[in-house]
Amino acid sequence: MSDVQNRLSDEEPQDLSELLKIRREKLNDLKRRGKNPYEITIFERSAYAKQIVEHFDEMDGQEVSVAGRIMTWRNMGKATFLDLMDASGRIQLYIRINNVGEEAYQEFGRWDIGDIIGVRGSVFKTHKGEISVQVHEIALLSKSLLPLPDKWHGLKDTETRYRQRYVDLIVNPETRETFVKRSKIIREIRTFLDNRGYLEVETPVLHTIAGGAAAKPFITHHNALDIEMYLRIALELHLKRLIVGGFDKVYEIGRVFRNEGIDTRHNPEFTLLELYEAYTNLGGIMDLVEDLFHTVSEKVLGTGKISYGGVELELDKPFERVTMTEIVKRYSGVDFKEIKTQEEARRAAKEHHVEVEPHFGVGKILEAFFDEFAEKNIIQPTFVTEYPVEISPFAKRIPGNEEYTERFELFIIGREYANAFSELNDPIDQRERFERQMELKAKGDEEAGEIDEDFLCAMEYGMPPTGGLGIGVDRMVMLLTDSASIRDVLLFPTMKPLD
């Protein structure tokens, strides 16, 4: 057999330890012969795979230089076909001994699937109609010492895909496409808000008080100041300070951190969008959310009608609007408008087998009913409104209905995608709610917030009527990419160490 036929191929069944040994021997041989591929610092490319395929009519016969990873290898004796993958996609390479020379062809024959190469050649189409590059020069730019997963089986194990995302991206094109879409979604969110006059800002990640949401924080220690600090659980309180300071429309897209469980919808760190707009209320924010989801879907996917898990969803129609008490009554039969005391609420919970904690008031028990009976039944986009004060410490009370607030959450296919308020701007009421949160914390509620005196000071200077919104960006990406788990849309999800 020739050197070309003897070259190591991952398509041949071989013991992994033997594969690793052979590849390292090949690298050592290259170095001994003064051809260390890792010493190459630059390769000037003139084209990408996708560009050549999409513009073949213009580029037919044109000289190009491309670079990327060898994905497949088909030896035909004195000619070889490779599939080369770059950041844009794949292109076929046609390498003939007569074009590159016998010495270069024999050298190339010692390389492996997974190696990163650079080639120069001319664009053409094969007799079978495959758009290709006929190679005139070829160079090894980086040696792959680990074999790629078998081409027929790929990298299917989800645990390995998440731990070794770099391999997942190499061998699974659908994974690459998901993260390209994620980038486009975030870009379109920014464009949407920028076009509406919002100012993008950055606020601190390290907080001295864990506030702005009901969540358990990560705690760290600042050595120089000798104080405990918290990784932020929300963006809210600093952004609202900016509204006090005179910015009318602000938003931030950033990482937040919650020291809680991991499942298909939760990761300890995730990306959150929060925005605040002065002189608007819940109705204005609802209209904005409808428009945002529809616009981003149209821009990224080309349609406002999408499929998630086989369910057809309509983002291009007005979203349903229903109060929490109405939808709880719809699915549980319990009318919380008729429940006035904690005892009545606890009795209803017991009758309907809804688990509640000793510190739950009527509002928390209503939320427990919603979680148990209603949430899973919401399929099409729906705004659930009028949340209890007890679970909405930063939302304005509804005039004439003081136990409920001007708040909504957007639910689609049984999941929450957005949370919004007509923001509380009464500093006295805000202090009372902070104090209530401290009482809950003393009773064992680890997610209850603390009193933020500086935020209260800001509010006492006066905050205009304001609408606020939070959207979990990762969940939005899951929705628009038909991804079942949040880990599918995070490049590097949090994983338990193998040790």
- List per-residue pLDDT tens for the chain, 499 residues long: 334 333 444 444 457 789 899 999 999 999 999 999 999 999 999 999 999 999 999 999 999 999 999 999 999 989 999 999 999 999 999 999 999 999 999 999 999 999 999 999 999 999 999 999 999 999 999 999 999 987 545 566 788 899 999 999 999 999 999 999 999 999 999 999 999 999 999 999 999 998 888 889 999 999 999 999 999 999 999 999 999 999 999 999 999 999 999 999 999 999 999 999 999 999 999 999 999 999 999 999 999 999 999 999 999 999 999 999 999 999 999 999 999 899 999 999 999 999 999 989 999 999 999 999 999 999 999 999 999 999 998 889 999 999 999 999 999 999 999 999 999 999 999 999 888 888 887 887 777 778 899 999 999 999 999 999 999 999 999 999 999 999 999 999 999 998 7
Question: 424 — phi, psi (to 5°)?
Answer: -65, 125
Tell me how far CA of residue 432 lies from CA of 162, 203, 372, 393, 394, in angstroms.
45, 26, 30, 9, 11
**3-class SS at 97?**
helix
User: How many C-beta atoms lie closer than 10 Å to residue 318's C-beta?
Assistant: 12
Task: Report the alpha-carbon angle 395-401-464, nearest 5.
Answer: 35
Strands 397-398 and 401-412: antiparallel
Residues in contact with 429: Cβ distance below 8 Å, sequence separation at least 6, in sequence order: 397
| Cβ burial, residue 348 (10 Å; 0-12/13-18/19+) | buried
Residues in contact with 357: Cβ distance below 8 Å, sequence separation at least 6, in sequence order: 364, 445
Query: What single-letter DSSP state applies at residue 373?
Result: I
**Nearest-angstrom CA–CA distance, 259 and 233:** 9
End-to-end CA distance of the chain: 45
pLDDT of residue 335: 97
**Nearest-angstrom CA–CA distance, 128 and 273:** 49
Element at 92 (helix H, strand E): strand 89-96
Strands 382-388 and 320-323: parallel
| Closest of 78, 71, 81 to residue 4, by C-alpha | 78
Provide long-range contacts, Cβ within 8 A and 24+ apart, for 81-86: 81/132, 84/49, 84/117, 84/119, 85/49, 85/170, 86/45, 86/48, 86/49
Question: 138 — phi, psi (to 5°)?
Answer: -145, 140
| Closest of 2, 173, 22, 15 to residue 97, by C-alpha | 2
**Nearest-angstrom CA–CA distance, 394 and 275:** 14
CB 219 within 8 A of CB 197: no
**Helices in 37-130 by DSSP H: which ranges?**
49-54, 56-59, 97-100, 102-108
**3-class SS at 337?**
helix
DSSP-assigned letters across all residues of 387-427? EEGGG-TTBPEETTEEEEEEEEEEEETTEEEEEEEEB---H
- pTM score, whole prediction: 0.91
